Structure 1
């Protein structure tokens, strides 16, 4: 264990070492090419190459360096470790509020996700990001415990104009909250009766808020008091598959909402 940690430390303490090993894992390179790719000085590069040769991570053939089988293994492991830590660092501000028990996919799939958090100047930034996506999308599925006025209006306009297909399943409380307001009830009725729309009402509280807009997943993250903390969006295929399965699960367990009910 200690020797393995020492080797990890050896690599991790130098970004140049990591860059050289990852570059060679992609293919053979001359020393001059490694200098161009990494920006390392010749003395530094010389020390790195000697250290790697001593560890049998690289070999020199016809004037070019390439990784050995074990060198490639170390490079791949280091790349995976860096990706994992980068993802964890990215998610750390919202980790405590992630619905981890419902997220049936490797969190590493969120490496390239966009995380939008509220700020003093933009307190509604997470919702705004989703509504901007809804304002462009042609195909939308929503599974949520909430259906706010802004989302309703954005979707209604596009659906009524024939520019969007919408399938939404919401908690009963979300539908009831809109129906209590005369103006919003009329807009919801118009949306529900429009061609290209299917809305269902779930009898129980849906504990998650997912929007799928043209194949991109948007997840709203709230704290224990229901205060919005962030939106996370990604087009990762595994996350998309998970989101669609969640939507289908709640959709199948819900009942259709008819315009005359409003």
Structure 2
């Protein structure tokens, strides 16, 4: 059991390592490519690569790192689990502020929905993302603690598109 815990800790013991793995699952990369995509120092990336390589999760050839064939599927599942956990965390933040006793939405529907959370680094992004999602959707349920003109217009164009389809 301790060896299993060590293997799992190696994979998920650092958020940087998780981001490195996410990049390597997509395609082989060298250190410079990882440095630009992972948002970490070269030293931190090399330390994490060395740990992953020592444990046998990744391999390096000619300065390019890649996920071993035997590790790829497990790492992809693990990354998917991380994405789902982030989704549930964001959903829980929304549900804390949502009058859940007054809406009739199944939990399965909530788990399948897109949750957009405002980040301090890009405060306007949630509105832009929400508008894009509404315009691309065939069915829209929204809970918005703040309503803007952009969102109202997006809902209007979505409803207009739906009536044209009928």
Aligned to 1:135: 156
Q: Deviations over 1:197-234 (max 9, x none)?
A: xxxxxxxxxxxxxxxxxxxxxxxxxxxxxxxxxxxxxx
5 Å matches for 1:221-232? none
In 2, the alpha carbon distance for the partners of 1:46 and 1:3 equals: 23
Alignment match of 1:116 (pick from 143, 155, 162): 143
Per the TM alignment, residue 67 of structure 1 is displaced from its structure 2 partner at its CA by 0.7
Relative to structure 1, the CA distance from residue 42 to residue 87 in structure 2 (aligned partners, 3 Å threshold; closer, same or farther) is: closer
TM-score (norm 1): 0.41
The offset of 1:28, in angstroms, is 1.2
Match of 1:100 in 2: 106
Deviations 1:119-164 (A, max 9, x none): xxx5xx49x95x5445323243xxxxxxxxxxxxxxxxxxxxxxx5
Q: Does structure 2 conserve the Cα–Cα contact (< 8 Å) formed by 1:28 and 1:65? A: yes
Q: Partners of 2:36 and 2:80 in 1: how far apart?
A: 24
Local SS of the residue matching 1:99 = coil
Structure ranking higher in helix proportion: 2
Larger-Rg structure: 1
Summarize the alignment of residues 41-60 of structure 1 with structure 2, pairs less than 5 Å apart. 41-60=41-60
| TM superposition score normalised by structure 2 | 0.60
Structure 1 residue 85 displacement after superposition: 1.3
SS at 2:65 equivalent: strand
CA contact (8 A) 1:83 1:111 kept: no
Q: Which has the higher strand share?
A: 1
Q: How does 1:184-223 map to 2 (within 5 A)?
A: none
Aligned length: 134
Task: Give distance in 1, aligned partners of 2:6 and 2:144.
Answer: 38
CA 134–29 in structure 1, closer or farther in 2 if over 3 Å, else same = closer
Consecutive unaligned residues in structure 2, runs of 5 or more: 117-129, 131-141
Q: Identify the structure with bigger relative contact order (alpha carbons < 8 Å, sequence gap 6+).
A: 1
State the partner residue of 1:244.
none
Whether the 8 Å CA contact 2:21–2:75 is kept in 1: the answer is: yes
Runs of 4+ aligned residues of structure 1 deviating over 6 Å after TM superposition are none
Q: Does the Cα contact within 8 Å between 2:90 and 2:115 map onto a contact in 1?
A: no
Calculate the aligned-residue CA RMSD, in Å.
3.4
Cα pair 1:16 1:40 within 8 Å, conserved: yes
Is the 2:35–2:42 Cα contact (8 Å) retained in structure 1?
A: yes
